[in-house]
Amino acid sequence: MPVFLNFDDPMFDQRFDEILSSERNDSSDVNSVVSDILEDVKRRKDEAVIELTHRFDKIKLKKEELSFSKNEIDKLSSKTTSDERKALDLAANRIRVFHERQKPEDVSWTDDIGIELGWKWTPLDAVGIYVPGGLASYPSSVLMNAIPAKVAGVERIAMMVPTPNGKINPAVLYAAKVSGVDEIYRIGGAQAVAALAYGTPTIPAVDKITGPGNSYVATAKRQVFGHVGIDMIAGPSEVLIIADDDNNPEWIAWDLLSQAEHDENAQSILITTNQSLGELVAKEVEKILASLARRNIAGPSWENFGVIISVPSLNVAAELSNKIAPEHLELCVSNPKALLKKISNAGSVFMGAWTPEAVGDYIGGSNHVLPTARSARFSSGLSVMDFIKRTTTTFVSPDALKSIGPSIETLAGSEGLEAHGLSVTSRLKKLTE
């Protein structure tokens, strides 16, 4: 059974804090293992990648087989069904349109003393996207990572997808085609991250790595950060639903389980102003779990991390939600737009009873790569902004330097940086000659 909390309980604050501080990540220490893998790939390049792929994915590859050929991609992706292709085409188009609106403009202006200031935006040269393989094989992840990069103007997108025992989901390859991925490698795990970060003779290095993965992939991304950029360190998925009286318990139960079925460490939380609704939802969850295909995953998630909280008002619900800072937030209330104004911390918000979080996972258009583990307090979901960089620009005329130069000399002197000050002094002298 999930944890039941009531806001009016004297012990509520303590129990709520325990939930906020609970760890849901894999507790095994993988840092040293990942460090060894990264160092091995950095040193032995393709040879290490081939050996590690054989060890972990049970597939023996030659250098020329590390990537899928165009013929392989065409042949395998054609095995998708007509319905799958139509759905992926629809999703790709909606995701592309949504992200096109995120593209910023270059800006410049001249201030009142004649200094021209501004900034310009430039796409990254090369990006690597990691897509889980095997049981957790998600073509939607390809769309969500590759399309924003393409919209941003990234010239080269390299995709890493593990193929355990040589198997690949054809829909993943079709998604890569419609997203504009340039290279696809059948490599996974920390060795894939290492190859993208450091480069090999067969796999050129990239500037940034994005996409979800297991604890080894997440740890590898953390360790290569600084040498290359990364999107985020994603933890287990999570959903928070705020519900008022007028809701269908079965619908909410399905929404809670749609996150629970991702991972045994995923978390589903319901905050409701109606305690009876919470009890009905819990019963519906148990009923659904009895026949759910992924009950062996969703069951432990709900049992170990499921939470139902009763609150006296939607204002209190919003306050608690902002403390949780959920990855996904559903506002199943009569006036979701009014409640949205009170929400400050959430990865993505789904408004109204007819907007399940699954809309955002696939077809809605917004990105489903989102901050987890309360990191929505300080970060955002993946966007075009992750694939471009801002460069500031300054142009100073002689008259403008004459105006600000003495202040620069003063500040440089106060910091003991002689050359800084004299670089301005030498120019000011020229103006008086």
Where in the sequence numbering do the catalytic residues fall?
A: 327-328
SS3 304: helix
Q: How far apart are CA 428 and CA 118, in angstroms?
A: 24
Residue of 297, 310, 281 whose CA lies nearest to 16: 310
Name residue 122's beta-bridge partners: 389
Task: Report the C-alpha gap between 248 and 326 in whole angstroms.
Answer: 22
Tell me the angle at which helices 31-44 and 189-198 cross, rounded to the nearest 10 degrees.
50
Residue pair 61/148 in contact (Cβ under 8 Å)? The answer is no
Nearest to 169 by CA among 190, 186, 183, 189: 186
Planar angle of CA 9, 239, 229, nearest 5 degrees: 125
Class of residue 419 by CB neighbours under 10 A (exposed 0-12, middle 13-18, buried 19+): exposed
DSSP of 368-390: -----TTGGGT-----GGGGEEE
Quote the CA–CA distance of 245 and 278 in Å, as a whole number: 10
- State the Cα torsion 405-106-382-212 to the nearest 10°: -80
Q: What are phi and psi of 218, to 5 degrees?
A: -60, -40
Q: Which two tokens stand for residue 325?
A: 């800072």
Strand segments (E) across 37-78: none
**What's the CA gap between 420 and 415, in Å, rounded?**
10
DSSP code of 348? Answer: E
Beta bridge partners of 269: 240, 307
Q: Return the half-sphere exposure (C-beta side, CA atoms, 13 A cut-off) of residue 46.
A: 14
Q: What separation, in Å, do the N-terminal and C-terminal C-alpha atoms of the chain show? A: 85
Q: Six-digit token pair at 122?
A: 């430039």
- Cα distances (Å, whole numbers) of residue 411 to 119, 167, 194: 25, 63, 44
